């Protein structure tokens, strides 16, 4: 396969990401879908960087005050640990996957959306923290998307070097306890988007939920709580049955079993959210 045409169509970084994502210790099955995923990731990163750079009139400064700032710091810590492990063991598919989820799901879809109101209101401290967090994300992404991250880095205020020679980011490891608290918001969002049901949240959780989920789009009937509880109970029963079946857990690939366990945990969180 001639890579020049792929690069012309999707970009060098998207092609690099795709090749890393489909790499393994065995014969590789070529998939243009992995390259297209890389292009979506590049577009998402470019757009969120424009948002932060366009609303920040200050230098990057790491200053954790808001719950969402503690949470994204913990998520980047977790991603950095995954990145370090994947690089040291040459597991590049795992590297690409970890960076995709922390960038697309955590940084863009939740952290950036949750701080948008503060950025638009001219909150300089929140903007400085957003720049510092973006700076760290760019460092983690640089081995996988070197061209795009270097270009974004060149627009950061107060930079002292090129990204390629910048030091590896500091690992904090002090906010891991925020994960469960933030998972409650994400579970509430999943329930709302699927069934139109709003579950009880504390004040900070509700503020983040409102900024990201836009609850003014709620269904007029408020959703059918009883029907959603029955659906979740059925899903939990199905997942528990599968995971208690030794022929499934013993024969199915590990990633399939792990995915089923993750579904079960999610269903239980959503049921707890609705029932409380």
Give the burial string for 237-254 (b: 16+ CB within 10 Å, else e): eebeebeeeeeeeeeeee
Per-residue model confidence (pLDDT) at position 217: 56
Q: What is the CA radius of gyration of the chain?
A: 20
**181-229 residue pLDDT tens:** 999 999 889 888 878 888 889 999 999 999 998 776 554 445 667 777 7
Given a contact cutoff of 8 angstroms between Cβ atoms, the answer to whether 112 and 49 are in contact is: no
Specify the higher pLDDT residue, 125 or 230: 125
pLDDT tops 50 at residue 62? yes
Least confident of 40-54, 74-88, 174-188: 174-188
Instruction: Round to whole Å and give the CA distance between 14 and 254.
Output: 28
pLDDT of residue 152: 97
For residue 27, the model assigns a pLDDT of 78
What's the pLDDT tens digit per position in 218-263? 544 456 677 777 777 788 888 888 888 888 888 877 777 888 888 8
Residue 47: Cβ-neighbour burial (10 angstroms; 0-12, 13-18, 19+): exposed
Q: What is the DSSP letter of 58?
A: S
Structure confidence by residue, pLDDT tens digits, 84-119:
999 999 999 999 999 999 999 999 999 999 999 999
């Amino acid at each position: 396969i001639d890579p020049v045409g792929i690069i012309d169509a999707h970009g060098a970084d998207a092609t690099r990401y795709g090749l890393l994502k489909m790499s393994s210790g065995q014969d590789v099955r070529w998939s243009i879908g992995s390259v297209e995923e890389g292009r979506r990731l590049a577009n998402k990163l470019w757009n969120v960087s424009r948002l932060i750079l366009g609303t920040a009139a200050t230098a990057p400064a790491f200053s954790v005050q808001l719950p969402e700032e503690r949470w994204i710091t913990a998520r980047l810590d977790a991603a950095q640990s995954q990145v370090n492990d994947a690089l040291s063991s040459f597991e590049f598919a795992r590297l690409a996957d970890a960076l995709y989820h922390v960038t697309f799901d955590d940084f863009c879809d939740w952290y950036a959306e949750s701080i948008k109101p503060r950025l638009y209101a001219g909150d300089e401290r929140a903007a400085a923290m957003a720049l510092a967090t973006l700076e760290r994300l760019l460092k983690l992404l640089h081995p996988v998307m070197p061209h795009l991250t270097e270009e974004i880095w060149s627009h950061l205020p107060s930079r002292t070097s090129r990204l390629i020679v910048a030091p590896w980011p500091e690992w904090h490891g002090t906010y891991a306890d925020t994960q469960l608290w933030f998972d409650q918001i994400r579970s509430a969002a999943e329930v709302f988007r699927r069934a139109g049901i709003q579950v009880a949240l504390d004040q900070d959780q509700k503020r983040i939920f409102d900024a990201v989920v836009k609850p003014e789009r709620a269904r007029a009937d408020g959703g059918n709580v009883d029907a959603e509880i029955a659906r979740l109970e059925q899903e939990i029963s199905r997942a528990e049955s599968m995971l208690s079946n030794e022929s499934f857990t013993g024969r199915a690939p590990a990633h399939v079993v792990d995915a089923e366990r993750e579904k079960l945990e999610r269903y239980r969180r959503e049921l707890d959210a609705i029932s409380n």
